[in-house]
Structure formats: structure tokens, C-alpha cells
Amino acid sequence: MNPSKRQHWIGVLARARLSELQPHEAALRDVDYQLIRAPEIGMTLVRGRMGGNGAAFNVGEMSVTRCVVRLADGRTGYSYLAGRDKVHAELAALADAHLQGAQPSIWLSDLILSLANAQAERRAQKEADTAATKVEFFTLVRGEN
């Protein structure tokens, strides 16, 4: 499945760290907006499939924070993110609202691109660390015969 542009930036905002969003806080909050759904913390059930295609089973519950804001011009921004960070949820929802505006390219280049790069870097680092621990198992002689 190919995620839409909006799916992509909402995902990037949800995975971002609060410390990466905070430099943009002043710009994000520099509009008239109201909270349609003030940031709230809840629980959601995570389900998984063994191997990605087996029968669904419940992995466990995780805490989720969500928020919906509306700017004065009617644009509505949503955010759902893992964890309990209400400030992060509000900033992410504001960013989603700004990105739906007439000039999303500024926000895309300023904010989303740098966040996505930082995330790709962290992920590559983690993958490299994990790859170093990989163990290959060989069967030299089988027991039969």
C-alpha cells in the first residue's frame, strides 16, 4: 500500500521526538486555533499476525495520546501518537493543520524533511547495531545415517 502524502507526514510527526518539534513550537502556535479535542491519553489494543499473515492475536495494550485542532480558517489537524505526551500531540496536530494549507511546501521542507531524515538516521543506526549481533546457524553434520 502506498501511503498518501498526509499519511506520510502524520506518521513522521507521530514518530518525531518532542525535542525536535519544540524549535518549531512558536511558529506552529502562531495562529488562532481552537482545540476540538483537547489532548487526551487513552489505551489501545495492539493486534498482530504471526509472520504477518497468520491468525490475528492480541499483542497487548499501549497508551496513546490524541488531539484534534482547528485553525481559524477551518483547517483541521489530527494527531495520534504512542505514549503520554500531550504537548507533542498538540504540536503534531497543529503541524498537520498547517500542512494542509495553501503553502504546505514550506512546512514540508522546513519540518517534515528534517524530521524524516533524523528518523531515517536513527533507524539506520539501530539496524546497523542489530545487524552486528546477527548469528548464522549452519548444520555441518546431520545426526542421521
- For the chain, how big is the Rg over CA atoms in Å? 20
Which residue, 39 or 115, is less far from other proteins as judged by CB? 39
Which residue, 8 or 75, is less far from other proteins as judged by CB? 75
Adjacent-strand bridge partners of 34: 70
Q: What is the DSSP letter of 51?
A: G
Q: Taking each helix axis from N to C terminus, what angle separates 5-15 and 113-131, rounded to the nearest 10 degrees?
A: 60
Which residue, 76 or 119, is less far from other proteins as judged by CB? 76
Supply the DSSP string of 94-139, one letter for each residue: HHHHHHTSS-HHHHIIIIIHHHHHHHHHHHHHHHHHHHTT------
Site for other proteins contains 7 (CB under 8 A): no
Residues 75-114: x where in contact with other proteins by CB under 8 A, - otherwise, as a string: -x--------------------------------------
Residues 6+ apart with CB under 8 A from 100: 6, 75, 76, 77
Nearest-approach distance from CB 129 to other proteins, in angstroms? 41
Which residue, 74 or 143, is less far from other proteins as judged by CB? 74
Site for other proteins contains 40 (CB under 8 A): yes
- Chain residues that interact with other proteins, rule: CB under 8 A: 34-38, 40, 68, 70, 74, 76
